[in-house]
Amino acid sequence: MMLQKIFKTSTLALISTAALCSTLVTTSYAAEGQSERHKFEVTTVAEGLSFPWGIAFLPNGEALITEKSGSLRRVGLNGVISEPITGVPDVVYKSQGGLLDVALDPDFADNSWVYLSYSEADPEGGEGNSTAVARGKLFGNNLQDVEVIFRGAPKYKSNAHFGSRLAFSADGYLFITLGDRYSAMDDAQTLDNHHGKIVRIWPDGAIPEDNPFVNTEGALPEIWSYGHRNVQGAAMNPMTDELWTIEHGPKGGDEVNIPVAGGNYGWPVATYGVDYDGSIISEKTHVEGTLQPFYYWVPSIATSNAIFYTGSEFPAWQGDLLVSALKASKVARLDLQDGRMMHEEALFGDVVEQRIRDIEQGPDGAIYLITDDRNGKLLRITNADD
């Protein structure tokens, strides 16, 4: 990939509004690169975010960005970062835990609901924690009428593998992806807990009557699929309205799945990876009664999130699945044709120097990344074709 740095004049931005009131010095350079199908430019929109985790774009073009420490901020595309939005639930900020994903209600323009996933302490005072989802109505720089709509069970003493992404289907269901909590990996194969599961609920927390385990004795009725490790990515396929998920594997075995109702995706009895110390988790990659991934990586690229690209900024990427990665600081473009995987291309790895935690398509059709760092950045990827 051919790269060129383009130096620009630094800008000091100051906006004195209730929502955007902080100052920020924007970056002094951009970088150009050449992919197989497009030339692109990467610019830094904002920096100084503390381990950002999730992005959601507001109708006015601002980005809502979570910081793992527990802050939710507005970020203007002029680089200005707001003070923390008030009303955000308390989080357990340890290791992989904290404030995680953010999503807007499909009817946000009418109801103002914002959804947050986060690691929550045991409200009964125990030592355990779990992934929870809350929603609140966003007015200015405040969340109001905040309510918890989902709590992972059981509360478990671990600071790892919380998941979690939020995805709305076209028919209004909310999918929540979860992790196996690492040391409780065997729970991913049983239906009496949320470890290693994907759940499907209504936006108010109600359980759909057609969920696959509603009538299964001993099963939690919100479970949609199981046998997952640590699902940190989710995207709805705009062509089919199917949920596609990105599963963070161990050492090897990151997966792309298309979870079906009631499906068992094998973890930990079947995996393409080994444990981080090289020890064998399972000798099997296929087990009867479990489903295979649509695609997987060996070695791992440390997947984080994904989008189906639908914008006009990069017409040759339309319909492709773009998967962000932590380990290689890259985005894997999966070239999809009629639902089949044709080719993988590595994007942006020579330009982005930090781990990529999230990827989103902006309202302008550009691609936006946030980087997983103490000085996290919001990056914009635009077309630089001649």
Positions of E strands within 187-300: 198-201, 223-225, 231-236, 243-247, 254-257, 295-297
Let me know the angle formed at the C-alpha of 48 by 161 and 104, rounded to the nearest 5 degrees: 55
36-63 pLDDT per residue, tens = 999 999 999 999 999 999 999 999 999 9
Q: pTM for this structure?
A: 0.93
> Residues near 180 by Cβ (< 8 Å), separated by ≥ 6?
161, 187, 188, 195, 196, 228, 229, 230, 267, 268
Contacts 24+ apart (CB under 8 A), 209-217: 211/261, 212/261, 212/262, 213/262, 216/191
Helix, strand or coil, per DSSP, at residue 253: coil
Structural element, H or E, at residue 337: strand 331-337
Phi, psi (degrees; rounded to nearest 5) at 5:
-90, 135
Strands, sheet with 198-201, edge to edge from the N-terminal-most edge strand: 166-168, 174-177, 198-201, 223-225
| Residue 363 one-letter amino acid | P
How distant, in Å, are the alpha carbons of 143, 267, 323, 351 from that of 31?
37, 40, 21, 7
Closest by CA position to 11, among listed 1, 21, 30, 24? 24
227 vs 102: CA distance, rounded Å: 24
pLDDT at 11: 33
| Residue 286 one-letter amino acid | H
Let me know the angle formed at the C-alpha of 117 by 114 and 120, rounded to the nearest 5 degrees: 125
Closest by CA position to 161, among listed 134, 201, 194? 194
228 is catalytic: no
Residue position matching structure tokens 């473009």: 333
Residue position matching structure tokens 């989802």: 133
- Active-site annotation holder among 161, 194, 195, 248: 161
pLDDT at 29: 53
Q: Quickly list DSSP for 18-41.
A: SS---EEEPPSEEEEEE-SS-EEE
Let me know the angle formed at the C-alpha of 371 by 65 and 383, rounded to the nearest 5 degrees: 90
Can you say how many angstroms the Cα of residue 237 is from the centroid of all Cα atoms in its chain? 15
Helix, strand or coil, per DSSP, at residue 110: helix
Helix, strand or coil, per DSSP, at residue 188: helix
Report, as ranges of residue numbers, the positions in the chain whose pLDDT lies below 50. Answer: 1-28
CB-based burial of residue 260 (10 Å sphere; 0-12 exposed, 13-18 middle, 19+ buried)?
A: middle
Give residue limits of the domains in the chain: 3-383
Q: Across the strands, what pairs with 113? A: 137
- Tell me the CATH number of domain 3-383, given options 2.120.10.30, 2.60.40.10, 3.10.580.10, 1.10.10.10: 2.120.10.30
17-27 pLDDT per residue, tens = 334 444 343 44
How distant, in Å, are the alpha carbons of 5, 45, 353, 374, 386 from that of 28?
10, 11, 15, 19, 23
